[in-house]
């Protein structure tokens, strides 16, 4: 995977100062970045990786003049000889995507955060697009979307990022998730299940149920994504009309202006129309523990998206 990064981003990502990068290029040909149409340097992921290794080795006592010409593979060997069990990629988790592509997840997340910090929305969209291509829907949901949103949410809480940055990222993610989910028309699955995915009326949080949809897509289920803010009456009509087998409802928060009594009524009305042959999966926040739902063997509360993954993977 090869991105396009300014010298400022390259410096932040590799830990090498801007002036040092320029000096290493001019004196030692350490890296040779491409140039944009306006003549600005554009570094790719391989450049960042090499700069990172060079920086580590110089910190350990090597002279840049003696190692700048080495290839990345040779730099890795030097690091191992110095007691580094793994290169910089080992500081981060790497996973094998589809078609054998190896993706450094933590590097990817770090690069996305840096791009968002600098409002490089075109870079974010470009990188997300590459990730959704080389990763499975399950990996995209669990390894990228969840951790990325959690990190950005934390930075917003700390007032290091603004709400506008969070909204910009959300818009880009929704576009690419939608493209992943709906690039092909709904087709029949060999699995004997039809799954409906939604959030309760008044709950506008969407990424949890979008992750659910990506998991269903990964496992080859026929699913219907109805999104957030779905009235229980509309849900009941859809369940009957489409002969749904499994209902997945993501309840992230108690809707504004509502209480647990409202959610009790919502879920119990769904349970009432389910019948004995359908199953209801409810996932969300800690508020679910305070609900008093009608007893049913067909209702299951899930504490995390990982629990949902484990459940539907066995269907």
Q: What is the pLDDT of residues 156-167, one digit of tens each?
A: 988 999 999 999
| pLDDT top residue among 83 and 50 | 50
Of 36-50, 122-136, 217-231, the poorest mean pLDDT is in 36-50
- The band of 88, judged by pLDDT with boundaries at 50, 70 and 90, is very low
* pLDDT given at position 184: 64
Over residues 231-245, mean pLDDT = 93
Put residue 83 in one of left, alpha, beta given phi > 0 → left and psi -120 to 50 → alpha.
Answer: left
pLDDT exceeds cutoff 70 at 138: yes
Say if residues 199 and 247 touch (Cβ distance below 8 Å): no
Q: Is the pTM of this model over 0.85?
A: no
Confidence band, pLDDT 50/70/90 cuts, at residue 91: very low
Taking phi first (over 0 means left), then psi (-120 to 50 degrees means alpha), and beta for anything else, what does residue 59 get? Answer: alpha
pLDDT of 214 = 96
At residue 219 the predicted structure's pLDDT band, cuts being 50, 70 and 90, is very high
pLDDT bucket at 131, cuts 50 / 70 / 90: very high
* pLDDT recorded at residue 3: 64
Phi, psi (rounded to 5 degrees) for 89: -65, -25
Please check the confidence at residue 290 and state whether its pLDDT lies above 80: no
- Helix count (H) and strand count (E) of the chain? 14, 9
Identify the DSSP state of 145: I
Asked whether residue 89 carries a pLDDT value surpassing 50, the answer given is no
Read off the pLDDT of each residue in 238-260 and give the average, rounded to a whole number. Answer: 90
User: Between 298 and 198, where is the model more confident?
Assistant: 198
Residue 188 is predicted with a pLDDT of: 59
What's the confidence (pLDDT) of residue 278?
92
Give 92's pLDDT tier (boundaries 50, 70, 90). very low
Question: Could you give the domains of the chain?
Answer: 1-91 (1.10.1660.10), 94-183 (1.10.1240), 185-313 (3.40.50.280)
pLDDT of 246 reads 96
In percent, the amount of the chain with pLDDT more than 90 equals 50
pLDDT higher at 2 or 259: 259
Residues 287, 260: contact at Cβ < 8 Å? Answer: yes
pLDDT tens digits, one per residue of 18-65: 899 999 999 999 999 998 888 889 988 889 889 988 988 887 888 999
DSSP state of 165: H
Mean pLDDT of the chain: 87
Burial (CB < 10 A; 0-12, 13-18, 19+), residue 156, is middle
């Amino acid at each position: 995977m090869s991105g396009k990064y300014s010298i400022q981003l390259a410096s932040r990502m590799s830990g090498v100062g801007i002036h040092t990068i320029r000096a290493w290029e001019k004196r030692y040909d350490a890296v040779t970045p491409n140039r944009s149409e306006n003549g600005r340097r554009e570094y790719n992921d391989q450049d960042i990786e090499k700069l990172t290794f060079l920086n580590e080795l110089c910190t350990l006592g090597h002279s840049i003049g003696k190692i700048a010409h080495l290839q990345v593979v040779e730099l890795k060997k030097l690091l191992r000889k110095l007691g580094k069990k793994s290169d910089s990629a080992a500081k981060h988790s790497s996973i094998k995507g589809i078609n054998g592509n190896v993706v450094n997840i933590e590097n990817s997340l770090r690069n996305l955060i840096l791009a968002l910090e600098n409002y490089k929305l075109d870079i974010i969209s470009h990188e997300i697009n590459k990730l959704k291509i080389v990763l499975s829907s399950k990996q995209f949901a669990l390894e990228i979307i969840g951790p990325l949103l959690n990190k950005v949410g934390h930075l917003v809480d700390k007032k290091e990022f603004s709400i506008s940055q969070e909204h910009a990222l959300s818009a880009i993610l929704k576009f690419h998730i939608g493209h992943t989910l709906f690039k092909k028309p709904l087709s029949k699955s060999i699995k004997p299940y039809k799954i409906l995915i939604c959030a309760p009326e008044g709950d506008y949080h969407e990424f949890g149920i979008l992750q659910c949809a990506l998991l269903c897509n990964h496992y080859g289920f026929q699913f219907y994504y109805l999104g957030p803010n779905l009235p229980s009456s509309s849900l009941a009509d859809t369940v009957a009309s489409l002969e749904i087998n499994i209902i997945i409802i993501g309840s992230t928060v108690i809707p504004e202006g509502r209480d647990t009594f409202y959610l009790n009524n919502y879920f119990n009305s769904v349970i009432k129309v389910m019948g004995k042959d359908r199953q209801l999966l409810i996932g969300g926040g800690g508020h679910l523990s305070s609900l008093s739902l009608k007893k049913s063997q067909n209702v299951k509360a899930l504490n995390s998206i990982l629990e949902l993954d484990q459940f539907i993977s066995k269907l």
